[in-house]
Amino acid sequence: MRLLLLPLFALLFYQAPAQNTIGFPDIINYGKEKYQGGGQNWDLAIDHRGLLYFANTEGLLTFDGQFWQLYPIANHTRLRSVKVDKRGYIYAGAQDEFGYYFPDQTGTLRYHSLKHLLPSGRKEIADVWNIELYDGAVFYRAYDMILEYRNNRIKVHTAPKEWRKMYKTNKGLYVQDMQEGLMKYEQGRWKTVCTHPALQHMLITAVLEDQPGTLLITTHKNGLFTITGNQLTPRKTEADGIFAASRIYDAISLGGQEIAAGTTSDGCYIINKTSGKIIQHFGMEEGLQNNNVLKLFADERQNIWLALDNGIDFIRYNTFIKQIYPGKKNLLTTYAAQVFDNQLFVGTSDGLYSTPLCRNTDFSFSKNHFRQVSNSKGQVWNLSVINNRLLMGHHEGTFLVSGNIATKLTTEKGCWLYKPFNTSSSPYNVLIGAYNGLYGVRTGQQGFMSPVHFDGLNESLRFLAIDNEDTIWASHPYRGVYKITLPNDDALHYTLYTGKHGLPSDYDNFVFRIRNRVVVATRNGIYEYDPGINRFKRSALLYSILGNVAVQFLAEDANGNIWFTSNRRPGIIDYHKPSGNQPYSIIYFPELQRKIVPGFEFIYPYDEENIFLAAEKGLYHINYRKYMQSAAGPAIAIGRIKATGKTDSLLFGGYFSNDSSLLSHQSSDRKVSLPHGFNDFHFEYASPAYDQGSNIEYSYRLNGFNTTWSEWTAKTEKEYTNLPYGDYTFAVKARNNLGIESAPIQYSFTILPAFYQTTLAKAIYLLLFISLLYLLYRRQKQKFILQRQKYQQRQAHLISLHQLELERNEKELIKVQNDKLASDVNFKNRELATVTMHLVDRGRVLSNIKEVLTTTIKKLEPAVAQDHFKRVMRLFEEAENNEEDWEHFSRHFDQVHSNFLARVKKHFPTLTTTDLKLCAYLHIDLTSKEIAQLLGISVRGVETSRYRLRRKLGIPGEVSLNAYLLEVIEKG
């Protein structure tokens, strides 16, 4: 009875919920519009790869970190429970249905009903609300029976009265019966372990581990209890009144001393199970979609999944990046933060807020409420601690914050920031950058004196930095960079540096002091002033690290690391984490990308466990030490693969398996061969590292198409089109923002060649080609023979033509030669004729002279001239018989007439000189009269000489003497 009154006492003493920590982890909402299923999710489980499974009202819902898939149950009723064993079998329980999902040959989940294994007479069952794996069997719980599935058989355990809920711990498998209380499965039977009467009136919602020999249970309406033997003892917590009013529907251990309890109307509570204190509360006000939690689940990294009455939520509970909301009901934009006097001050768009800090080194675990600092209403730009005083830069001027009150120091225009200025050349030790220029402040024992404005420059100065020479540098967002000096007359002197002086642009220049030097963050990297050339140039310290990326903010922490923002993406240059050949690493925080305030970037690195970043909604907190220590490599999973040909086909459903269990890789016997028409492919892949979210990038390659890995990208899909036939292996790997890579995962497939590309077809092509070659050879051979014959005929014809041409040429040559010879002969004949005619003429003249002389002699007296005339007559005879003339004539004659005389003399050696002369004269067709003159005889004498010659030669009278001689010579 005392236990039954506990809920009433809890309600009587119920007060407002205990305070949350100021740091909230991110809560990611998945509505039914996103996962395309029913609103209610009753149960969830995870497999060895990290893929999640939800028992959704419309079927089994799966999630790999990027893609959702819905697999309806056999009878299309509501799925109530789900559990995954080590082999990868996904057991499911629904309304009047139970069984399991397992991938088919294509890696696609298929449902297999086990209802046919029920014994006769029990073919209908109620909703299966729980599934547990224990002792090599699967236990399905309905309200009236528990079905034990072992070795492909079903054993039915009938409820003594009504099975309420089933639970598994390291100590065993438990179930609550309405009549028997808490029971435990031992040796094939259910045995009662606690028969306390109060259990008959309480619904146990979870059984958790506690001290040895003790169980910790949560109840629906009555809070927490411990069971030791048969003793039931209440466990008091700060949330007893809340649990009595909001009801606990489920609870889980989070490791160590924390448990998470999901309620039906007030979200989720994190409680220290030893002290009972509330650590954190998550409800709709903190970001849940609704407060009705149906199931809780903690993954390996102790992040919490909530199956809700309408939707699914994910709490990055174990994250080291949290949000701090100064105004919880008004998500204010923050611009500045400062830890001072054991308090955290946050400057927002609606004033300054503060909260005390706990002793924990991680300030995000402080459990106090923020309150607004009095007299700070309005836009806060800056918080600075100078001379152990907290100064606030405000839209309305300069303020000093003391306790929880802000006191205005000046009524001048708004203030941007403060900078200590310790120099002997100026009486002012604090500089103020304001809306209308630069101010100086004197400080002393009496505190801060009234600020003094320096004349000469009335521009808005939101960024100030002081170099080692006490020169003041200020930047204007669209004018350039000012170099300022302060003389003693309270009138400053300045030089404006713009793009003409080495800066990349007149716009977006921001000055900061980093590692004892003044640098300018620009649109194109970090620049520094070089006094030797009076120009700006690329920073030797930072340009080589960050390159020409746009940088808007720089801050140095106590360890020498440099924090920065670039295009709304915060990062750090960590000089204590070498990377490759560099003594530093550049680490970005994708979780915060585009969440910081654009144009008013702010990072406050208080220490390694407390980095604060101004954000559009609240303030972000990074525990950088724990963030780096908790770094783990991301997992990678290939999802669906679709092949497109004439129709679309699901090639792979996302699960590698053999016939008995899931595998982490593709087995060789599951390699797919596709027809030639399928040559377009769509690959889906994701990393089930849910808490890393946008930190993950992917790289892929398709062996057989390319051999190099792609550039890292956040895309989780890849398409290939018009792939030729061949063997392919698609590989993909993941890495997080810390550079840790996963092992690649692969999927191999083959695109078969078309028939005309197969080996048989190629063999046929080869035979046809050989046959064609043979036919071509035969044809070419025949053609060659014909061509050869034609060639031979042509050659013969050409030869004959050539021969004829040669003959013609020869004839022409002979003719030419003959013509030449004839010409020569004619010439010589003309000469011979000339000589002959000369001889004839001479002979005629001599003959005439002789005749005249003879006549004359006859008329003279003999006695007077006879002797003298005889001598003259002998001279005539000598002239007529001049052998030299004959010798000359015969030589010339033989040259012209082919040695005619020599050949005649050779054939007829008995011939005399007179005979030879007669032959020669006859050969050249001289008349008898001409011969007579040449021979000095009468015509009659010539005829007589012919007659005698014929007789010597034996020539008949009818035969020409000259013809006879020629014939004889030719024959000889």
Per DSSP, the three-state class of 850 is: helix
Q: In degrees to the nearest 10, what's the CA dihedral of 929, 931, 936, 938?
A: -40
Chain centroid offset of residue 544 CA: 25
The model's pTM is: 0.75
Beta-carbon contacts of residue 391 (< 8 Å; ≥ 6 apart) = 382, 383, 384, 385, 398, 399, 400, 401, 418, 448
- pLDDT in the model for residue 586: 94
Burial (CB count within 10 angstroms: exposed 0-12, middle 13-18, buried 19+), residue 301: middle
DSSP-assigned letter for residue 670: G
CB atoms within 10 A of CB 291: 19
> How many residues in the chain?
972
Could you write out the three-class secondary structure of 292-312? CEEEEEECCCCCEEEEECCEE
- pLDDT in the model for residue 6: 43
Q: How far apart are CA 631 and CA 620, in angstroms?
A: 19
DSSP H stretches of helix in 532-596: 543-546
- pLDDT in the model for residue 315: 94
CA distances from 109 to 100, 640, 660 (A): 10, 11, 14
**Backbone phi and psi for residue 170, each to the nearest 5 degrees, phi listed first:** -65, -15
Note whether 222 and 3 are within 8 A (CB).
yes
Amino acid identity at 623: N
Q: How far apart are CA 277 and CA 712, in angstroms?
A: 45
- What region does 107 belong to: left with phi over 0, alpha with psi -120 to 50, or beta? left
- pLDDT in the model for residue 95: 93
Q: Which two tokens stand for residue 762?
A: 């190629």
Beta-carbon contacts of residue 357 (< 8 Å; ≥ 6 apart) = 339, 342, 343, 344, 363, 366, 368
- pLDDT in the model for residue 2: 43
Beta bridge partners of 612: 604, 621
CB atoms within 10 A of CB 961: 16
Strand order, beta sheet including 452-453: 415-420, 430-434, 437-441, 452-453
Note whether 71 and 657 are within 8 A (CB).
no
Q: How far apart are CA 873 and CA 882, in angstroms?
A: 14
Beta-carbon contacts of residue 66 (< 8 Å; ≥ 6 apart) = 639, 684, 685, 686, 687, 716
Nearest C-alpha neighbor of 333 from the set 628, 600, 664: 600
- pLDDT in the model for residue 300: 85
Amino acid identity at 946: R
Q: Which two tokens stand for residue 125?
A: 């069952």
- pLDDT (tens digit, 9 = 90+) per residue, 811-831? 777 777 777 766 666 566 656
- pLDDT in the model for residue 484: 94
Amino acid identity at 847: S
Strand order, beta sheet including 293-298: 27-30, 311-315, 304-308, 293-298
Note whether 64 and 83 are within 8 A (CB).
no
Beta-carbon contacts of residue 883 (< 8 Å; ≥ 6 apart) = none
Note whether 610 and 621 are within 8 A (CB).
yes
Note whether 502 and 534 are within 8 A (CB).
no
Q: Tokens 């489920």 correspond to what residue?
A: 250
Amino acid identity at 720: Y
DSSP-assigned letter for residue 455: B
Note whether 85 and 101 are within 8 A (CB).
no
DSSP-assigned letter for residue 503: -
Q: Which two tokens stand for residue 733?
A: 């790997």
Q: How far apart are CA 353 and CA 334, in angstroms?
A: 10
Q: How far apart are CA 514 and CA 605, in angstroms?
A: 13
Residue 792 host element (H or E): helix 759-859
Task: Give me Rg for the CA atoms of the chain.
Answer: 63
Q: b/e for 603-641, b at 16 or more Cβ within 10 A?
A: bbbbbbbbbbbbbbebbbbbbbbbbbeeeeebbbbbbbb
Q: Which two tokens stand for residue 745?
A: 């995962």
> Which residues, given as ranges, of the chain have pLDDT below 50?
1-16
CB atoms within 10 A of CB 161: 12
- What region does 142 belong to: left with phi over 0, alpha with psi -120 to 50, or beta? beta
Q: In degrees to the nearest 10, what's the CA dihedral of 205, 210, 214, 216?
A: -20
Note whether 680 and 722 are within 8 A (CB).
yes
- pLDDT in the model for residue 891: 75
Note whether 207 and 170 are within 8 A (CB).
no
Nearest C-alpha neighbor of 570 from the set 598, 539, 608, 607: 598
CA distances from 643 to 647, 657, 674, 723, 758 (A): 9, 20, 9, 11, 21
Can you count the helices (H) and strands (E) in the chain?
A: 13, 69
Beta-carbon contacts of residue 643 (< 8 Å; ≥ 6 apart) = 649, 651, 674, 678, 680, 681
Quickly list DSSP for 713-743. BS--EEEE-SPPSEEEEEEEEEE-TT--BPP
CA distances from 330 to 290, 326, 350, 618 (A): 19, 8, 10, 9
Quickly list DSSP for 365-414. G-----EEPBT--S-EEEEEEETTEEEEEETTEEEEEETTEEEES--SS-
Beta bridge partners of 348: 334, 351
Note whether 112 and 128 are within 8 A (CB).
no
